[in-house]
Chain A
Amino acid sequence: MTNAMPQQAETSVISAKALNLTFQTNDGPVHALRDVNLEVGKGDFVSFIGPSGCGKTTFLRVMADLEQPTSGEVLVNGVSPEAARKARAYGYVFQAAGLYPWRSIGGNIRLPLEIMGYDKAAQAERVREVLELVELAGFENKYPWQLSGGMQQRASIARALAFEADILLMDEPFGALDEIVRDHLNEQLLALWARTQKTICFVTHSIPEAVYLSTKIVVMSPRPGRITDVIESPLPKERPLDIRDTPEFLEIAHRVREGLRAGHAYD
């Protein structure tokens, strides 16, 4: 999709300024996000890390126009989240794969394409392409129950990639998977990111995962949900799994841990 983008979007794909979001609950207001400012550049891989209740998922949902901020401004591709959503500017990967059991893997990936009115030939072409991208070629006619949890999550990533949005929002996509599968998927995700040049926002609560994947790590803390640290990763783009044993990696991981601890000192 080639949308006309304002000039600032050249550098900043997502931009949040003085963002606040308060939920009104029976126990009084809950500050899910307070004074959040962030710039995400094109092609960045940004991880949001923090304990539960720190607003990382809420922030992602604001970008996706699934929650409305109380005040402040968010721009996605230089326009409001609603306009970005309507322009289908992002693909969203949820915690659970959420594949429809009555559709084959190919049918599941075709679903957003049908909704967006791609013609039959283009649908087939895109399905083939993204299945290859997530290394599921040959599984097009299988049904979700025939796939392992990790494969299902890869299929759901393929579905989010199918309609060529250049932003990928991922909400703890590997949270329910075991460590070994997770490592493998992390590696694949990095390869996919390198090939597609997408901008990725990735919510996680795993420190190694955040450090391994990201070019930018956003550390958040709860009550009120806010950003406590933004770490630009000095790690090279090329990252084999054993990079996690290098001093640089451990140093970043340490800084993330410090940031998380500092956030907790508030309560």
Chain B
Amino acid sequence: MRNLIPVLTVVAVIVAIWYAAAVWLNAQWVLDTAARQDREIGTSELVLETWSQDKPRLPAPHQVVTELWETTVEKNITSKRSLVYHAWVTLSATLAGFAMGTALGVALAVGIVYVRVMDMSVMPWVIASQTIPILAIAPMIIVVLNAMGLSGLLPKAMISMYLSFFPVVVGMVKGLRAPSRMQLDQMRTWNATQGQEFLRLRLPSSMPYLFASLKIAMAASLVGAIVGELPTGAVAGLGARLLAGSYYGQTIQIWSALFMAAIVAAAMVGLIGLVQRLTLKRMGMA
């Protein structure tokens, strides 16, 4: 309860600012309309109308919530108009990309830690890969993969992977190098093989770093999947909803899709956090 009050206070402040901003941004349109209709308009009327437009510049919170409610709870989830359906399309690509990105990231980190040539050469390329704007490279990935006959989930997942492997590489290199000189010397006194050292010392030591990376990777992965939906003119997915919304000026639809993306990301990151808490607690590292 004690934690709830500050949280609710912050939420209330944000909602208040949002309503105020909706008035400010939408007022001009209300005034223009009223002027065209030769209608006098009072302050309370003005405020109410800014909060109930069909295509506002900034929809009010309750409009977004209503839209979210109508497109999730009140629609069959197999329907093309259900946001749950679109969220699942994006989420499936996100999860596939996240899994691939994590696997690639861990593999690269193991290589960097164990192979000297990779240690000296791979990291600059990994960093360079992240300096390229994803919006620039995403269409090319889609086009190239399409030319190779790959379409649907996989190209989107590839873009997710492209964004999500990076935090995993960085975190895991640090994590696999976390064991102290002493712990490594100790393994040597037991004449342990590299495989034994990896499984029994380096891998468990890296767990706190891995989980921190996975949280970032998951968020990046979702962004990747959404970006991957933009250049293809995809008909399904949160990215497609954003695109359709912007074509037709459906700001309420855009905002509800954005909120859905945020909810999905928060749920996924929260899930990782839960697994992290349980795992590290079991390992005596939390």
In addition to A102-B282, A115-B190, 9 A-B residue pairs with Cβ atoms within 8 Å of each other are A65-B188, A85-B189, A94-B185, A94-B186, A95-B182, A96-B182, A100-B201, A115-B192, A116-B191
- Known A-B contacts A88-B190, A92-B189, A102-B285; A115 and B182 likewise in contact (beta carbons under 8 Å): no
Task: Take A98-B183, A114-B200 as given contacts and tell me if A66 and B188 are in contact as well, using a CB distance cutoff of 8 Å.
Answer: yes
Within 8 Å by CB of A66, from B183, B189, B190, B200, lies B189
Interface size on A, residues (CB 8 A): 25
| A144 within 8 Å of B (CB atoms) | yes
Return 8 A-B CB contacts under 8 Å, by A number: A66-B188, A85-B191, A88-B191, A96-B182, A98-B186, A100-B201, A101-B284, A114-B196
Residues of A within 8 A of B188 (CB): 65-66, 85
Do A102 and B189 contact each other (CB < 8 Å), given the known contacts A94-B182, A115-B196? no
B interface residues with partner A (beta carbon < 8 Å): 180, 182-183, 185-192, 196, 200-201, 204, 282-285
Q: Does A249 belong to the interface (CB within 8 Å)?
A: no
A residues sitting closer than 8 Å to B (CB atoms) are 64-66, 85-86, 88, 90-92, 94-96, 98, 100-102, 111-112, 114-116, 143-145, 163
**CB of A141, distance to nearest CB on chain B (Å):** 13
In the docked arrangement, what's the CA distance between A122 and B285, Å?
A: 29
A188 to B71, CA, bound (A): 72
Residues of B within 8 A of A145 (CB): 284
Q: Give chain B residues whose Cβ lies under 8 Å from the Cβ of A101.
A: 283-285
Per the bound structure, the CA–CA distance linking A232 and B196 in Å amounts to 42
Q: Which of B180, B190, B192, B204 has the most CB of A within 10 A?
A: B190
Residues of B with C-beta under 8 A to A85: 188-189, 191
Task: Select from chain B the residue with minimum beta-carbon distance to A64.
Answer: B189
Which A-chain residue is minimally distant from B200 (CB atoms)?
Answer: A111
What separation, in Å, do the CA atoms of A66 and B181 have in the docked complex? Answer: 11
Nearest B residue (CB) for A163: B190
The distance from the CB of B180 to the nearest CB of chain A, in whole angstroms, is: 8
Q: For residue B14, give the distance in angstroms from its CB to the closest CB of chain A.
A: 40
Assuming the A-B contacts A66-B185, A96-B182, are A102 and B190 also in contact, with contact meaning beta carbons closer than 8 angstroms in the complex? Answer: no
Contacts of A66 in B (CB 8 A): 185, 188-189
